[in-house]
Amino acid sequence: MALRSEERSEELDAYMVTWKLEREFGGMTTVCTQRAGLFAQRYGRSFIVTFNRDPKLSQTVEDLVARGKLDPKVQVLNIYSFLAQHDITAQDRIPERKAQPEHQDFELQHTVYYGDEPQLAFSQSSSAGPDAATTQLRFLRKDGSTFLLDTRFTDTTGKNRRIVEVLDRAGNITARFPSAASLYRHWLSQLADRDNTLVVVDSKYTASMLGSWETKIVPKLYAFHSVHVTKGESLLTGELSDPHSPVIAQRKLWDGFVFLTEGQRAIYNRRFGDADTTFVIPNPLKSSAVTPVVEGQDAPERKPTQLIAAGSLTTNKNVAAAIKVVAELVRRGHAPVLHVVGQGSQREKLEQLCAKLGVEDAVIFHGFSDKLPTFFATCTAQLFTSSNEGQALVLLEAQAQGCVPISFDINFGPADSIQDSVNGFLVPAGDITRMADRAEQLMTDPQLAAQLSANARKFAQEYASRDLVSLWEETMSIASKIKQLGARQEVPEFSARLKSVEFLERGALKISVAHKAKLPRDTGFELVIVQRDNEAEVKVYAASEFDEQQAVFTIDVAGVKAARTQEKPTDVFLRMRVGSSMLMKRLGVENSRVLPYFTSHNNLSFKPEK
């Protein structure tokens, strides 16, 4: 059932779609709830949509509101809670079951009760058959009637089957689906597929189920909260991260991808194109992070030797590097104190590292704390040592309290918040010595520390004042217009195999590349010479001719010289464009047991077979 028209905002309804909402949650859900809060403050209400089975959801929401983690104007809509109270519009034609479970003698195995009324059953788990392989979940309203049946079994051909059926209060089936995901899509369409509506999908897991959600009106937007390439892989051609891979594979089914930083968007566009349907909107910064710890009074005393590393204690956060920085400072004769605020699976290993380096007394593990602003207000510097980030709000939270961040200069995130030597420091990734140098500067030069602290606070305040709601509205408007133009073209599968190299006058080259791709309308090919270390483009050459088998390129003398004069090796890629979309592949050769190569004396040789 769609929401009644009198219940809708006259201006805009914003739906933030995630998998679940719990009492304690991480960064992605934090952003989701904070964004929903911004829209609720602007329009009087907004929505968070969830799909997990949670009989205690109402109590969770009350708890989050009471603790200030959820704006009271934000409405949480869960598929199971919704169906327990509302009827959805019946399907025009209810599909027939494609198969029937062989065994239907269901026996009750387990009952789950409503959290706010524990005497009432929320769901009942049953099984049937000699091996209990056929299962059924029955969900009940508080009046005892069934609102959903979820049956799983294996048919006579050995295929796994699922039947999800929605029932009205009279027990009549009003809708039937072959999967839970198809029910979710059906429900979302009735909730949100209309004018003046924003839908933002935050959860990667949920996004994998909503790629095939076909909306008629509302643009479907996905928000990237982390880097889309597996750690250590090439940003241009490397393996995509497991969670993001299925989303990007279905990119033509989405109306827009929203990135946290311009750097993330730029590297995605270099690889896939689609610049017209990618956007940059940073995460909101909660007001409590910007507000001085003691409103209207001077901040708590900031001690020059106090340092902080804040975040989950996981491998990616790399707190071990911060501990090594402290050990280096101790070796130099200083007396730093590192406050480690956060919890995670790496704590025991980090404590062992402290013992190994002899800095147990210099590192204090606080675990999780909701007093992070106070920690930042009393520490001179934040050591940010992550190896991989999307956008690190914790940097801005530190800056808001005048704590100067010293960060590894990794891809995406730190450079968007830190202007080196102005409101913080950027040091080469993994460089313990350089990070220790910067921390030593702040600890021993109070004038420098005070200046960077003031600059950091000013930057965070300006960041927090940005109108992110308007950015989302603008993105929604652009995505809506593009959606009205119809489906976008996809880049077909192609190869990138060197077919021949011809040596022209004065050192120019003519290169033929076999691609074997079907050529849609508006197709083009480019040969791209890329620096190996930072993947910057050195030269780009459009194909002088191409057909469905190969593309031909001429690299002039200037291009050869540009490649040869780089400090480090350059690599060659084939880029195929179809309209606004594109894809790059590293240029190689067909598998061969013997490969010729040129010696340093420009003589042709063959490598021995290994």
Tokens of 27: 């960064």
What's residue 6's pLDDT? 38
> Band of the pLDDT at 7, cuts 50, 70, 90?
very low
Q: Tell me if residue 590 falls in helix, strand or coil.
A: coil
C-alpha 373/C-alpha 154 separation (Å) is 54
pLDDT higher than 80, residue 38? yes
Q: Tens digits of per-residue pLDDT, 337-365?
A: 999 999 999 999 999 999 999 999 999 99
Q: Tens digits of per-residue pLDDT, 261-281?
A: 888 898 899 889 889 999 999
Q: Tens digits of per-residue pLDDT, 67-90?
A: 999 999 999 999 999 999 999 888
Burial of 458 (0-12, 13-18, 19+ CB in 10 A): middle
- Within 10 Å of residue 26's Cβ, how many Cβ atoms? 10
Q: What is the pTM of this model?
A: 0.80
What's residue 5's pLDDT? 36
C-alpha 483/C-alpha 475 separation (Å) is 12
Burial of 238 (0-12, 13-18, 19+ CB in 10 A): middle
Identity at 219, one-letter amino acid code: P
C-alpha 363/C-alpha 307 separation (Å) is 9
Burial of 594 (0-12, 13-18, 19+ CB in 10 A): exposed
C-alpha 71/C-alpha 16 separation (Å) is 13
pLDDT average, residue stretch 127-156:
95
Identity at 532, one-letter amino acid code: R
Q: Which of 145, 146, 181, 151 is nearest to 164 (CA)?
A: 151
Give, as one character, the DSSP assignment of residue 240.
B
Q: Tens digits of per-residue pLDDT, 156-209?
A: 899 999 999 999 999 999 999 999 999 999 999 999 999 999 999 999 999 999
User: Which residues, at least 6 apart from 69, have a Cβ–Cβ distance to it below 8 Å?
Assistant: 33
Where in 504-569 does DSSP place strands (E)? 509-514, 523-531, 537-542, 545-546, 550-555
C-alpha 24/C-alpha 60 separation (Å) is 10
Q: Tens digits of per-residue pLDDT, 468-497?
A: 999 999 999 999 999 988 767 788 999 999
Beta bridge partners of 160: 154
Q: Is 116 left (phi over 0), alpha (psi -120 to 50) or beta?
A: alpha
> Band of the pLDDT at 287, cuts 50, 70, 90?
low
What's residue 417's pLDDT? 87
Looking at 132-146, 293-307, 573-587, which range is the least confident one?
293-307
What's residue 288's pLDDT? 57
pLDDT higher than 70, residue 3? no
User: Are the CB atoms for 81 and 58 separated by under 8 Å?
Assistant: yes
- Integer Rg of the chain from CA: 29
C-alpha 336/C-alpha 361 separation (Å) is 10
pLDDT higher than 80, residue 439? yes
What is the DSSP annotation of 417-463? H--BTTTBEEE-TT-HHHHHHHHHHHHH-HHHHHHHHHHHHHHHHHH
Angle formed by the axes of helices 446-464 and 393-400, nearest 10°: 120
The more confident residue out of 299 and 185 is 185
pLDDT higher than 60, residue 317? yes
What's residue 390's pLDDT? 64
C-alpha 282/C-alpha 393 separation (Å) is 9
pLDDT higher than 50, residue 8? no
pLDDT average, residue stretch 554-558:
94
pLDDT average, residue stretch 272-291:
81
> Band of the pLDDT at 336, cuts 50, 70, 90?
very high
Q: Tens digits of per-residue pLDDT, 220-257?
A: 999 998 778 887 778 788 888 888 899 999 999 999 99
